[in-house]
A and B are shown apart, each in its own frame.
Chain A
Amino acid sequence: MAIDCLVLGAGQEVGKSCVVVTINGKRIMFDCGMHMAYNDHRQYPDFSRISKSCDFNNAIDCIVITHFHLDHIGALPYFTEICGYNGPIYMTYPTRALAPIMLEDYRKVLVDRRGEVEQFTSDHIAECMKKVIAVDLKQTVQVDKDLQIRAYYAGHVLGAAMFYAKVGDSAMVYTGDYNMTPDRHLGAARIDRLQLDLLITDFDFHGICLVFQFTFCKCYNSEIEYRNSLFIDYAAAVSDTVDYIIVSYLISLPCPEMEALAFGLRSTYATTVRDSKYAREREFLKAAASSVLHTAVASILSFVVIIVVHKCVAGGGKVLIPAFALGRAQELCILLDDYWERMNLRVPIYFSAGLTIQANMYYKMLISWTSQKVKETYNAFDFKNVHNFDRSLIDAPGPCVLFATPGMLTGGFSLEVFKHWAPSEMNLITLPGYCLAGTIGNKLMSGNPTIELEGTKIDVRCQIHQLAFSPHTDGKGIMDLVKFLSPQHVILVHGEKPKMATLKERIQSELGIKCCDPANNESVCIPSTHYVKAGASDAFIRSCLNPNFQFLKSGSEEKSVSGSKCTEGTLPLWIKDERVAEGILVLEKSEKAKVVHQDELLLMLGEKRHEVQFAYCCPVNVDELEKFTTTSLTPTARMLRDPNKSSLIRLLVAKLSRKLSEGNIQDFGEHLQVESFHLSVCLKDTCPYRITNGLEDKPRTAFFCCTWSAADDKLARKIISAMENRDLVET
Chain B
Amino acid sequence: MGMLGLPFLTRMEGFSAKIYITEAAARIGQLMMEELICMNMEYRQFYGAEESSGPQWMKWEELELLPSALRKIALGEDGSELGGGCPCIAHVKDCISKVQTLRFGEEACYNGILIIKAFSSGLDIGACNWIISGAKGNIAYISGSNFASGHAMDFDYRAIQGSDLILYSDLSSLDSTEDIDQSSFSDDNNNWEELMNSLSNYDESVEEMEKLAFICSCAIDSVKAGGSVLIPINRVGVFLQLLEQIAIFMECSSLKIPIYIISSVAEELLAYTNTIPEWLCKQRQEKLFSGDPLFAHVKLIKEKKIHVFPAVHSPKLLMNWQEPCIVFSPHWSLRLGPTIHLLRRWSGDHNSLLVLENEVDAELAVLPFKPISMKVLQCSFLSGKKLQKVQPLLKILQPKLVLFPEEWRTHVSFSDVTSFSVSHYSENETIHIPSLKESAELEIAADIASKFQWRMLKQKKLNITRLKGRLFVNHGKHQLLPENEPGGSSQTRPFLHWGSPDPENLLAELSKMGINGSVERCMTDAESEDGFTVKVQDPEKSMIEVRAAVTVISAADKNLASRIVKAMENILEGI
Residue ranges of A at the interface with B (Cβ–Cβ < 8 Å) = 93, 96-97, 100, 129, 134, 136-142, 169, 358, 361-362, 364-368, 378, 529-538, 541, 544-545, 578-589, 594-595, 598, 601-602, 605, 607-617, 688-689, 691-693, 707, 709-711, 713, 717
Please state if B549 and A366 are interface contacts (CB–CB under 8 Å): no
Query: Which of B104, B452, B561 is in CB contact (< 8 Å) with A614?
Result: B561
Given A545-B471, A581-B469: A711 in contact with B439 (beta carbons within 8 A): no
For A692, the chain B residues whose CB sits under 8 A away are 556
Please, could you name 7 A-B residue pairs with CB atoms under 8 Å apart, sorted by A? A362-B291, A530-B446, A535-B438, A544-B471, A584-B467, A585-B444, A611-B549
> Provided the pairs A713-B561, A717-B558 are in contact, do residues A541 and B543 lie with their beta carbons within 8 angstroms?
no
Asked if B553 contacts A614 (CB within 8 A), the reply is yes
CB-defined contacts of B554 to chain A, threshold 8 Å: 614-617, 688-689, 691
Residue on B nearest A138 in the bound complex, by CB: B106
Instruction: Say yes or no for B38: interface residue by CB 8 A criterion.
Output: no
Does B238 count as interface, using CB distance less than 8 angstroms? no
Q: Are B484 and A535 in contact (CB under 8 A)?
A: no
Most chain A beta-carbon neighbours within 10 Å: one of B288, B466, B500, B548: B288
Q: Is the CB of A589 within 8 A of B461?
A: yes
Is B495's beta carbon under 8 Å from chain A?
yes
Q: Residue B275 contacts which of A169, A364, A578 (CB distance < 8 angstroms)?
A: A364
Contact A610 B550 (CB under 8 A): yes
In the complex, which residues of chain A have a beta carbon less than 8 angstroms from the beta carbon of B556? 616, 691-692
A689 vs B544: C-alpha distance in the bound complex, in angstroms?
A: 10
The answer to whether B288 and A365 touch across the interface, beta carbons within 8 angstroms, is: yes
A140 with B452: CB separation less than 8 A: no
Chain A residues, Cβ within 8 Å of B291: 97, 358, 361-362
Q: How far is the CB of A316 from chain B (nearest CB, A)?
A: 35
> Which residues from B are CB-within-8-Å of A142?
159
Bound state CA distance, A236 and B38, in angstroms?
50
Instruction: Give the complex CA separation of A587 and B464 in angstroms.
Output: 6
Contact B565 A710, beta carbon cutoff 8 Å: yes
Chain B: minimal CB distance from A568 (Å): 27
- Contact in complex: B551, A613 (CB < 8 Å): yes
Residues of B within 8 A of A613 (CB): 550-553
Given A139-B105, A609-B497, A610-B572, also A615-B553 (CB < 8 A):
yes
Asked whether B555 lies within 8 Å of A365 as measured between CB atoms, the reply is no
Q: Does B145 contact A (CB under 8 A)?
A: no
Contacts A93-B278, A97-B288, A710-B495 given; does A541 touch B471 at CB 8 Å = yes
- CB–CB B498/A96 < 8 A: no
The answer to whether A598 touches B496, judged by C-beta atoms less than 8 angstroms apart, is: yes
Known: A140-B106, A366-B275, A538-B440. 10 other contacts (CB 8 A): A139-B103, A361-B291, A364-B274, A378-B271, A537-B439, A545-B471, A578-B470, A579-B470, A610-B551, A713-B562
**Nearest neighbor of B24 in chain A, beta-carbon distance:** A368
The smallest beta-carbon distance between B27 and chain A, in angstroms, is 10
Q: Which residues of B contact A579 (CB under 8 A)?
A: 470-471
Chain B residues closer than 8 Å to A545, beta-carbon distance: 471
Query: Which residues on the B side are within 8 Å of A97 (C-beta)?
Result: 277, 288-289, 291
A536 to B136, CA, bound (A): 10
Check B277 against A140 for contact (C-beta < 8 Å).
no
Say yes or no: A691-B467 contact (C-beta < 8 A), given A139-B105, A533-B443.
Answer: no
Q: Does B568 count as interface, using CB distance less than 8 angstroms? A: yes
Q: Are B565 and A612 in contact (CB under 8 A)?
A: yes
Instruction: Chain A residues near B105: list those with CB within 8 A.
Output: 136, 138-141
B442 near A534: Cβ-Cβ < 8 Å: yes
Chain B residues closer than 8 Å to A693, beta-carbon distance: 541
Residues of A within 8 A of B498 (CB): 602, 605, 607-610
Interfacial chain A residues near B449, Cβ < 8 Å: 532
Interface segment among B43-51, B81-89, B475-483: the answer is: B475-483
Query: Does B315 lie at the interface of the complex (its beta carbon under 8 Å from any beta carbon of A)?
Result: no
**How far, in whole Å, are A57 and B533 apart by their CA atoms in the complex?**
76
Q: How far is the CB of B262 from chain A (nearest CB, A)?
A: 20
Are A534 and B444 closer than 8 Å at their CB atoms?
yes
Given contacts A97-B289, A138-B103, A691-B555, contact A610 B464 (CB under 8 A): no
**Interface of chain B residues 403 through 456 with chain A (CB within 8 A):** 438-446, 448-449, 452, 454
B266 to chain A, nearest CB (A): 14
- Residues on the B chain within 8 Å of A581, using CB: 467-471, 480
Complex CA gap A550/B467 in Å reads 21
Tell me, in angstroms, the Cα distance from A378 to B463 when the chains sit together. 66
Q: In the assembled complex, how far is the CB of residue A539 from the closest CB belonging to chain B, in whole angstroms?
A: 10
For this complex, into which size category does the number of interface residues on chain B fall? 35 or more
Q: Within the complex, which residue of A100, A358, A717 is in contact with B289, where a contact is CB–CB below 8 Å?
A: A100
Contact status B104-A588, CB under 8 Å: no
Cβ-defined contact, B443 with A535, below 8 A: no
Which residues of chain A are within 8 angstroms of B444 by Cβ–Cβ distance? 531-534, 585, 595
Cβ-closest chain A residue relative to B500: A610
Interface residues in B111-162 (C-beta closer than 8 Å to A): 117, 159
A78 to chain B, nearest CB (A): 20
Most buried by B among A358, A587, A710: A710
B204 within 8 A of A: no
A96 to B464 Cα, complex, angstroms: 54
Would you call B304 an interface residue if the criterion is a C-beta within 8 Å of the partner chain's C-beta atoms?
no
| Cross-chain contact of A536 among B276, B441, B495 (Cβ < 8 A) | B441
Residue of B with least CB distance to A599 = B496
Determine how close the nearest CB of chain B comes to the CB of A644; give it in whole angstroms: 26
* B274 shortest CB reach to chain A, Å: 6
Most A CB atoms within 10 A — which of B285, B464, B468?
Answer: B464
Residue of B nearest to A527 (CB): B446
Residue of A93, A139, A538, A579 with highest tally of chain B CB at under 10 A: A139
| Residues in B neighbouring A617, C-beta threshold 8 A | 554
Cα separation A587 to B438 with both chains bound (whole Å): 16
B106 and A535 form a contact (CB under 8 A): no
Quote the shortest CB–CB distance from B429 to chain A (angstroms).
27
Is A614's CB under 8 angstroms from B445's CB?
no
- Expressed in whole angstroms, the minimum distance between the Cβ of B176 and any Cβ of chain A is 34
On chain B, the residues within 8 Å of A688 by CB distance are 533, 543, 545, 554
Contact with A along B273-307 (1 / 0, CB 8 A): 01111100000010011011110000000000000
B460 within 8 A of A: yes
In the complex with contacts A365-B293, A613-B551, A717-B558, A607-B499 CB distance below 8 A: yes
Q: Is B379's CB within 8 Å of the partner chain A? A: no
Least distance between A426 CB and chain B CB atoms (Å): 37
B442 (CB) vs chain A CBs: closest residue:
A536
What chain A residues lie within 8 Å of B499 (beta carbons)?
607, 610
Say whether A689 contacts B543, CB under 8 Å. Answer: yes
Contacts of A533 in B (CB 8 A): 441-444
Min CB distance B240 to A, Å, is: 15
B493 contacts the other chain (CB 8 A)? yes
Residue B457 is within 8 A (CB to CB) of chain A in the complex: yes
Query: Is B497's CB under 8 angstroms from A610's CB?
Result: yes
Determine the chain B residues whose CB is within 8 A of the CB of A609 once the complex forms.
Answer: 496-498, 549
Query: In chain B, residues 68-122, which have Cβ atoms closer than 8 Å to a Cβ of chain A?
Result: 103-107, 117
Complex Cα–Cα for A691 and B560 (A): 13
A129 CB contact (under 8 Å) in B289, B543, B549? B289
Across the interface, A93 reaches (CB within 8 A) one of B277, B440, B471, B541, namely B277
A541 touches B478 (CB 8 A): yes
* Interfacial chain B residues near A538, Cβ < 8 Å: 439-440
Nearest B residue (CB) for A688: B543
Find chain A residues with CB under 8 A from B550 CB. Answer: 610-613
Q: CB-nearest residue of chain A relative to B501?
A: A610
Contacting residues, chain B, for A615 (C-beta < 8 A): 545, 552-554
Chain B CB within 10 A, most for which of A139, A531, A538: A531
Minimum CB distance partner of B496 in chain A: A598
Flag if A365 contacts B277 (CB, 8 Å): yes
**Which of A140, A692, A717 has its CB near the most chain B CB atoms (within 10 A)?**
A140
User: What residue of chain A has the Cβ atom nearest to residue B522's Cβ?
Assistant: A688
A601–B439 touching, CB < 8 Å: no
Verify A594–B439 contact, CB threshold 8 A. Answer: yes
CB-based contact B104/A139 at 8 Å: yes
- Give every chain B residue within 8 A of A713 (Cβ-Cβ): 558, 561-562
